[in-house]
Amino acid sequence: MADKIRNLEIRGARNVAIAAVKALKTVATHTKAKSPRAFVEELLEAKEVLYATRPTEPLMRNAVKWVIRGVESSRKEETRALARIVTSSSCEFLKALERSRDYIAEVGSRRINDGTVVFTHCHSSTVTHLLTKACEGGKTFRVICTETRPLFQGRITAKEMLNLNVETTLIIDSAARSFIKQADIVIVGADAISAEGNIINKIGTAAIAVHAQEARVPFYVVCELLKFDPATLCGYYESIEERNRTEIWRNAPENLVIHNPAFEIVKRDFIHGIICEEGIIPPHSVYETIVRRYPWVLA
């Protein structure tokens, strides 16, 4: 599972978190640990392997933390009983994630009306779920999506929209400023949320946010609040994954410096709202919402 996450066979923050939780379930199902202590050590080892796959995945880290926390706080003294806790808290987590995604889609789809032009970037399963919901609600809208170099995840979004019979336009990333004027709303996903209420998303998102502000087009982020990274409270910056240079140019001259960051920060000043499991909230209230709703994330 870790290999699949690392080589992007499994991608998108939600899918990565779901895969990590399933990996823990597999560890619990197949454990040969002879004592509860040995079982916890197996889980912690799995945690390290999963954490090392991709650096910008706080939802995955919070998911793993939630499951292991259930085991560590339990008073059960048999390995089998602890393994059952992994299974039950994994199921609980996945169900909660599903409920959040549905609520986000319900709230966010109210911002789409007949004739709305939605601008999006990359491929976020949370965004496409919201757009699917709007479509199922009988709304006729149009989508403009960027191709999202270097891995072209925008094509996944475009295909999903076409399968829904939504009129879709694909543009190159550098055409964003020219096309943003046609949009009524920008909706993007997120990989991480920081303590200041900034979000981290696919490279290219910050430029779109600037263009949206210039063109006075509202810019919304849709994501589960569990993408919050508690380490940012302690002064750490979210690590930005640097991917292989060959994704940009396979046989590039060796002495050419190539940078390939997967993500970047969008400052909260550009964000009209975060559409999450609490509804639409301003970015600066993220921390209070986490304290109230997910205090264990801060532990």
State the minimum distance, in angstroms, from the CB of residue 92 to ligand RI2. 19
Q: Is 184 annotated as catalytic?
A: no
Residues lying near ligand RI2 in the complex (CB under 6 A) are found at 11-14, 122, 124-126, 153, 189, 191, 201-202, 262
State the minimum distance, in angstroms, from the CB of residue 126 to ligand RI2. 3
On the 0-12 / 13-18 / 19+ scale of CB atoms within 10 A, 29 is exposed
Asked if residue 286 lies in contact with residue 235, where contact means CB atoms within 8 angstroms, the answer is no
Catalytic entry in 3, 91, 122, 229: 122
State the minimum distance, in angstroms, from the CB of residue 75 to ligand RI2. 35
Report the residue number, 125 or 132, with the smaller CB distance to ligand RI2: 125
Pairing of strands 142-146, 167-171: parallel
194-227 b/e with 16+ CB inside 10 Å = b?
A: bbebbbbbbbbbbbbbbbbbeeebebbbbbbbbb
State the minimum distance, in angstroms, from the CB of residue 189 to ligand RI2. 3
Cis peptide before 55 (omega within 30 of 0): no
d(CA 235, CA 229): 11
Q: Cβ of 102: how many Cβ atoms within 10 Å?
A: 14
222 token code pair: 């849709």
Report the residue number, 47 or 202, with the smaller CB distance to ligand RI2: 202
Report the residue number, 27 or 262, with the smaller CB distance to ligand RI2: 262
Report the residue number, 194 or 201, with the smaller CB distance to ligand RI2: 201
d(CA 132, CA 274): 19
State the minimum distance, in angstroms, from the CB of residue 29 to ligand RI2. 26
Report the residue number, 84 or 264, with the smaller CB distance to ligand RI2: 264
d(CA 4, CA 57): 14
d(CA 43, CA 51): 12
Q: Is 173 annotated as catalytic?
A: no
Active site members: 122, 191
